[in-house]
Amino acid sequence: MLRLCLVARSMMPKTASRSLSAAAQGVRVAHAKQALRDADAVCFDVDSTVITSEGIDDLAAYLGCGEKVAAVTKQAMQGSMPFHEALALRLDAMQPSRQQVQAMLQEHPLVLTPGMATLISTLQARKQHVYFVSGGFRNMIEPIAAQVNVAKEDIYANTLLFEDDGKFKGFLETEPTSRAGGKAKVVADLKAQHGYKTVIMVGDGATDMEARDIEGGADAFIGFGGIAVREKVKQGADWFVEDFNDVINTLK
């Protein structure tokens, strides 16, 4: 059984024909394809994987502080700042209220990556559990998850906290995804808790690939480059795809 695991650039995936016509890329393509077919659960990153953008960037742009947040992100990444401190700095720069988050989602709803809805429904029809495992915000991911019938309890992501009047309060620091290595921990914990024999991680970033590279972690990592190509992911993924139709076809 499988379950599926959202900042401001809106980039559409690369053309489907390119990945369909090119030879499969990856360090263990056959292994990844078989693991996918056998998987008990599939965990999806959200930003630039399930959706066509990065949720925190989308929110920052909506609030008119995209450049400021990008500067904070760059400063944090150049130093030795812990992940949770970098997250706190970016949120402090934005100070998003509950009302602003809701307004952004209504005016500029997040967009599913082409093929994602079909892939998820295909997995669900095969009785494979789908999880969303994201460094984005649960408050923004839940509407997307509802579109593809992924339950709230199957979302592992950060949580924005608000005062009673909706004013920004902070974020839930106990969420594993609020810290470095959090995605890998979530995948390993899911595998251990549910007794899954085979779990797949799908995502565009190095933090997604880490879920495969720890003891007890994902059994295969499918790197996705349909929105943004990360060279480290392209070179290290068991199977690297730019079109989710390639993955869907493997399940047929």
- Judge whether 102 lies within some domain: no
- pLDDT at residue 8 tops 50: no
One domain for residues 192 and 218: yes
Candidates 124, 132, 48, 113; CA nearest to 245 is 113
The number of folded domains in the chain is: 2
Q: 3-class DSSP state for residue 160?
A: strand
The tokens 């947040």 sit on which residue? Answer: 69
Report the chain's mean pLDDT, rounded to a whole number: 89
- C-beta of residue 189 within 8 angstroms of C-beta of residue 213: no
SS3 state of residue 25? strand
Query: 246 and 191 in one domain?
Result: yes
Domain check: are 8 and 122 in the same one? yes
Separation between Cα atoms, residue 250 and residue 102, nearest integer Å: 37
Clarify whether residues 192 and 153 are in a common domain: yes
Residues 226 and 123 grouped into a single domain: yes
Asked if 121 contacts 79 with a C-beta cutoff of 8 angstroms, the reply is no
Residue 229 lies in a domain: yes
Q: What's the CATH code of the domain at 147?
A: 3.40.50.1000
Which domain covers residue 75, as residue numbers?
Answer: 58-97
Angle at CA of residue 36, ends 31 and 41, nearest 5°: 130
Dump pLDDT digits (tens) for 92-144. Answer: 989 999 999 999 999 999 999 999 999 999 999 999 999 999 999 999 999 99
Say yes or no: 233 and 217 in one domain. yes
Which residues belong to the active site? 45, 47
Residues 74 and 149 placed together within one structural domain of the fold: no
Q: Where are the alpha helices (DSSP H) in the chain?
A: 16-21, 29-38, 55-62, 66-78, 83-94, 98-107, 116-125, 138-147, 182-194, 206-209, 231-236, 244-251
Are 121 and 63 in a shared domain?
Answer: no
16 and 39, same domain (yes or no)? yes
